[in-house]
Every structure is written in C-alpha cells, then in structure tokens.
Amino acid sequence: MQTEPITMHRRGEPAAQMRDCHTARWSVTDVAALLDLPLPDLLFRAQEVHRQHFDPTEIQLSTLLSIKTGGCAENCGYCSQSAHHDGRVPAEPMLDEAAVRAAAVAAKEAGATRFCMGAAWRQVRDRDLPALGRLVETVVGLGMESCLTAGMLKPHQAQVLKDAGLDYYNHNLDTDPGYYGQVVTTRSYQDRLDTLATVREAGLKVCSGGILGMGESRAQRAGLIAELANLEPYPESVPINNLVAIPGTPMEDAPPLDPIEFVRVVAAARITMPKSRIRLSAGRRELGEGVQALCFLAGANSIFYGDKLLTTGNPDFDEDRQFFQRLGLRAEAAADS
Ligand code: SAM
Ligand code: DTB
Ligand code: SF4
C-alpha cells in the first residue's frame, strides 16, 4: 500500500506552500513568510486566530517579583544579574515568606491573577526546594496562579514544585538556536530544551518565550517562534520581551528594534500558538503606548503588571489601568471572583 508522507495541513492552504518539513508543525520558512506579509494582512490573520480562541478585549495580568536578585553564574549578555558583567546589580539574599506574601497580596488587590517569582540562578539547588515550595504554597493559598523562573530544573525538583501547587514554570528559549551562542555561552540551547521537557513531564504548565532586539535577524526571529510553536505541546504562556539595553551589559549598545517588527513577531506568535497567552513582557515602556496598542491588535493578551520587573522599571498599576480604560480593554477575572 502506498502511503503519503504525514503532513499536517492548515485548512485551505496547500501544504507545500506552508511547510518544508514533514514533522515540524511550523517551519522557519513558514514563520518567515508570516513576518514578510503586508502588515494589514498579518494583523488580519492574527485577529482571526485570536478571536477564535479568546475575547480580544480581555488581558491577563501577571505580577513579577525578584525573590533572589543578582550574583548569577550564567553570562547571559542582556542580563543585569549576571556576575560576569560590569553593570551587575548587587547580589541579595532570598526574600522571606512575609515579603513575598505582601507583594502577592498587593498584586492581587491591584487585579493580577498570576504571581511570578524570579530567582537569578543557573539552576535550582535541592537545599532551596523547601523554601521555594513554601513560597509557591503562599501564592496559591491567596487564590492566585503561581509561576516560578529559577533556572535549570531536574525531574525530582520539578515534581516537588508541582506537588507544592506550582502552576507554571518560566524558562525562555530567548532566541534562535543559531544565534544563542552570541547571547550566552555558559549553557546550551539543548539545556533549555531539556528543562522545558522536564517541566512538561512533571505536569507543570510551560511559560517560554524570548527577547527581541538583541541584534538577531528577521530569519532568526522566525527561528525563535518556530522553535516555540513546535514544542509538543506549545507553551501555554509566551512572554515576548523587548530588550532593555542595560548599561554595563554586553548588549548595552544594541540598536533598538524597529517597533513594527516587534508587532509582527507578536502576530506570528499568535498565529502559530493560537491558544497561548502571548505576553508583552520587558521593555513595554520603551515600546510606547501606540506600539503596545498595536500589539494587542496583533493578539497579545497578557502583560507584566506592576512598576518593577526583576531589576528594571515597568508602568505602574494606575498607568496600566488608565491605559486599558482608554483602549476599552479589561483584565481577566480571577478564578475565585
Ligand atoms: N535565571 C532564570 C533564567 O534565566 O531562566 C530566571 C530569570 S531570567 C532574568 C528570566 C528572563 O528574563 C530571561 O530568560 C530573559 O528572557 C528575560 N530578561 C532578562 N533580562 C532582560 C533584559 N535586559 N531585557 C529583556 N528581557 C530580559
Ligand atoms: C520573562 O520572559 N520576562 C520577565 C520574566 N519572564 C521573568 C523578566 C524580564 C526581566 C527584564 C529585565 C530586568 O528587570 O532585570
Ligand atoms: Fe542568570 Fe537568568 Fe540573568 Fe541568565 S537571565 S544571567 S540565568 S538570572
């Protein structure tokens, strides 16, 4: 019996035009073709997909807290927390439970539904697990979704966090595999993929995205989106960061990305990962309100909410509430409200 190669078709589109690999759901060429579309066509396609799966007026709000700042052993070229860079922030001890609870309560009162905790570690150590578990329980006990980003994870560690009630683990692919070596050399792309697989196997939801504006090409931006979209299954949450060029880091002089290019990548993320929360993450201030509004039209439906990210600034609660009011957007309701 003659069998045809297994090729997944998107409705109404000849497979040959859309895919140059039989197993990948999105080839880099597919994604590059999206990025090359005239902007009105790209936004129209993104909006069609967005409206099939979401109310386009509803935005999910995540608040971020750095629970362990600075002193990181990795050399990520964009990061103020790497011990390798002149522009490093001072290393601080891990926050205690009371401080984390207070920040989470304030975030919940301001309307955030997810609380994300970040630690400047290359990897989680077993001796930190009990404290991390208690912080997760604190956040979950407040009726918020919990997210942690703390570097590489081993399977038994992912299981402890899952058992503590953790909902999401954030671990970004950051860029195209072929550009990764220009960004960080103390770990490999495969290390990142392995941790994402570990997170998935433990039954945690995956939050993974990247950074735009690190000097990568459009083809490499397409490569990042294809990598994320071809994860099986693709991440539930996709943060798209606009590089914050921090003085004293190797990327301090990176030329700002054309903001329209940022909008295009958001649209491509929406089209290729239709059911994900696509989050406007670092560097929103630098994008400005007009570009952020275009991103919401391109399918972004989540933000980091609160005046600080990990070490850099972000619009404050009031500023974003007023911005949403002007746009006719509303915050996702909390599960228990
Ligand atoms: N150490 C953990 C790790 O690397 O997975 C968690 C914290 S790390 C700061 C989380 C993410 O923040 C990075 O993967 C990167 O995508 C993003 N990020 C860090 N510094 C940034 C910057 N200056 N501009 C934009 N995004 C940044
Ligand atoms: C993500 O993708 N972006 C957030 C969160 N996940 C951990 C972090 C952004 C950090 C921006 C630079 C800083 O504040 O140091
Ligand atoms: Fe460390 Fe994460 Fe910063 Fe890299 S991005 S230097 S792993 S804190």
* HSE-up (13 A, CA, CB side) for residue 35: 22
Mean pLDDT on 21-46: 90
Q: How far is the CA of 87 from the centre of ligand 3 (A)?
A: 13
The question of whether 88 is a catalytic residue gets the answer no
Asked whether residue 10 is domain-assigned, the answer is: no
Average pLDDT along the chain: 93
Q: Is residue 139 part of a domain?
A: yes
Under the banding of pLDDT at 50, 70 and 90, the label for residue 20 is very low
- Its domain, for residue 99, covers 25-327
DSSP letter, residue 174: B
The answer to whether residue 188 is domain-embedded is yes
- Within 13 Å and on the Cβ side, how many CA atoms surround 201? 12
CA of 192 to the centre of ligand 3 (A): 12
Domain count for the chain: 1
**In this prediction, what percent of the chain has a pLDDT beyond 70?**
92
> Is there a catalytic annotation at residue 21?
no
Catalytic residue among 45, 88, 114, 147: 147
Q: How far, in Å, CA of 297 to CA of 294, rounded?
A: 5
**Which residues sit with their C-beta closer than 6 Å to ligand 3?**
72, 74, 76, 79, 81-82, 120, 122, 151
Total residue length of the chain: 337
Please give the pLDDT value at position 87: 83
The mean pLDDT value for 305-316 works out to 96
Nearest alpha-carbon partner for 140 in 118, 116, 122: 116
Q: Is residue 74 part of a domain?
A: yes
The pLDDT assigned to 336 comes to 58
| Residue among 180, 179, 155 at smallest CA distance from 169 | 155
Whether 334 is covered by a domain: the verdict is no
Pocket lining: 145 vs ligand 1, CB cutoff 6 Å: no
pLDDT tens, residue by residue, 121-134: 999 999 999 999 99
Mean pLDDT over 250-260 rounds to 97
Q: Which among 19, 45, 187, 207 is annotated as catalytic?
A: 207
pLDDT band at 277 (very low <50, low <70, confident <90, very high): very high
Does some domain include residue 15? no
CATH of the domain at 254: 3.20.20.70
Residue 299's contacts (CB-CB under 8 Å, 6 or more residues apart) are: 46, 47, 49, 50, 266, 267, 269, 270, 271, 278
Q: What six digits make up the tokens of 116? A: 């994300």
Ligand 2 centroid, distance to 127 Cα (angstroms): 25
Specify if 335 maps to a domain.
no
Q: 5 lies in a domain?
A: no
What pLDDT, in 10s, does the model give residues 84-118? 999 899 999 999 999 999 999 999 999 999 999 99
